Amino acid sequence: MNKVRFAILISIVAVSGFSQGMLLPVIAILFEQQGYPSSLNGLHATGLYIGVLLASPFMEKPLQKLGYKKLILIGGFLVLASLFAFPVLQSFWIWFVLRLLVGIGDHMLHFSTQTWITSLSSNETRGRNISLYGLCFGLGFAAGPLLTGLAETDPNLPFIISGSISLVIWGFAFLLRNEFPEQTVTGAAGSTGRFKEAWKLSWIAFLPPFIYGFLESSLNGNYPVYALRQGLTAEHIALLLPAFAVGGILFQLPLGVMSDKFGRSRIIPAVLLAGLVFFFAASFTPSFPMLLIFFFAAGMALGSTFSLGLTYMADLLPKHLLPAGNLLCGICFSIGSISGPVIGGLYMQYIPGSSFFHIISFLLLAVLLLFISYGRGQEKTAACKQ
């Protein structure tokens, strides 16, 4: 893969993560200061993921018709226009629409860059390339909240700065030479047929992105409430959640390289088992230092589940099905992101005496058992279709 093109693509992904990481805390704080109830604040936060879900079924044909570069430019322009519109259009529901548009634009960026990278990467470098992709998004997402403090000075500053940085990086996309995904269709014809075939051949690979979406949203949305009820302070929570993110960032590339060497079918069950052990152990410790260690360790193991699942999907599918497979990865991630806070909230409400970590452990165990039971068979089915 051309190094300059790859650098531009992962830079675009990093800035996309930066804008997403900025929007979540900045808007939540602004709405809290304006007196909006937490239920409406939480509903508003789902706007970005709803945008992803709404856009997903309609992404494949535009990519085939316009190519990677043009879809990246359109998605980037949509995000830019929305970011610069936030300071101008001061309204709760207009901001919800703008969040939807950011979700749609970001999905165009991610879908295009993911498919481009997975289609051009060889089997020997695919894990490393996708892990770098995930690493850059994670770094951007972690850096986004740093703009939160500027909202105290001027509520418009975070949007203006994020939009300006996005504008600069978006400009580099014009330097790319447009290419198109492989469109040779063998077997099922039409978008619906390709989705069905992609699901049949690689459904096992869509479970890790679902897990990552569930973890990201439930840990950030539900765990702070649970932690406060357990006697932890806001300062403790402010250290625990970044510990998970930092663990994921530090081990994103090493796990990607290991998956190239030992195979995704071995590494994914291993990280699921490790995450299960760490979260289950966390449910029994009242010690904050031990919780911090378990969060960091769980992040080391599970922070790469999205990129590992995405890479595994590319291993299982022929190239003409990669656009459909990438869309299904995004859909499963969004379903996990939306369902995480809902399931976690219901769990805490109706089973108040149980540890919040038990529901995460149960989910990880279920997916681990599916990998053990069906992973090898799924690889054989996909190999026959290649």
Burial class (CB within 10 angstroms; exposed 0-12, middle 13-18, buried 19+) of 242:
middle
Q: How high is the pLDDT of residue 271?
A: 97
> Are residues 290 and 213 located together in one domain of the fold?
yes
CATH of the domain at 129: 1.20.1250.20
Total number of domains in the chain: 2
Pairwise CA distance, residues 154 & 146, whole Å: 14
> Are residues 174 and 315 located together in one domain of the fold?
no
Range of the domain at 253: 188-386
Q: How high is the pLDDT of residue 174?
A: 95
Q: How high is the pLDDT of residue 337?
A: 84
Burial class (CB within 10 angstroms; exposed 0-12, middle 13-18, buried 19+) of 145:
middle
> Are residues 15 and 131 located together in one domain of the fold?
yes
Question: Of 181, 197, 225, which residue is a domain's last?
Answer: 181
> Are residues 93 and 238 located together in one domain of the fold?
no
Pairwise CA distance, residues 161 & 167, whole Å: 10
Burial class (CB within 10 angstroms; exposed 0-12, middle 13-18, buried 19+) of 91:
exposed
Q: How far apart are the first and last CA of the chain?
A: 22
Question: Of 121, 146, 181, which residue is a domain's last?
Answer: 181
Q: How high is the pLDDT of residue 383?
A: 62
List own/partner pairs for 233-242 with CB under 8 A and 24 or more apart: 236/288, 236/291, 239/292, 240/291, 240/292, 240/295, 241/295, 242/142
Q: How high is the pLDDT of residue 277?
A: 97
Q: Tokens 């531009």 sit at which residue?
A: 8
Q: How high is the pLDDT of residue 334?
A: 86
> Are residues 74 and 13 located together in one domain of the fold?
yes
Q: What does pLDDT average to in each consecutive run of 10 residues of the chain (386 residues)?
A: 88 92 81 76 78 85 92 96 94 93 92 90 86 88 81 89 95 93 60 84 94 87 79 82 88 92 92 96 90 95 93 90 89 87 80 86 95 76 61
> Are residues 254 and 143 located together in one domain of the fold?
no
Question: Of 160, 181, 202, which residue is a domain's last?
Answer: 181
Q: How high is the pLDDT of residue 205?
A: 94
Q: Is 350 left (phi over 0), alpha (psi -120 to 50) or beta?
A: alpha
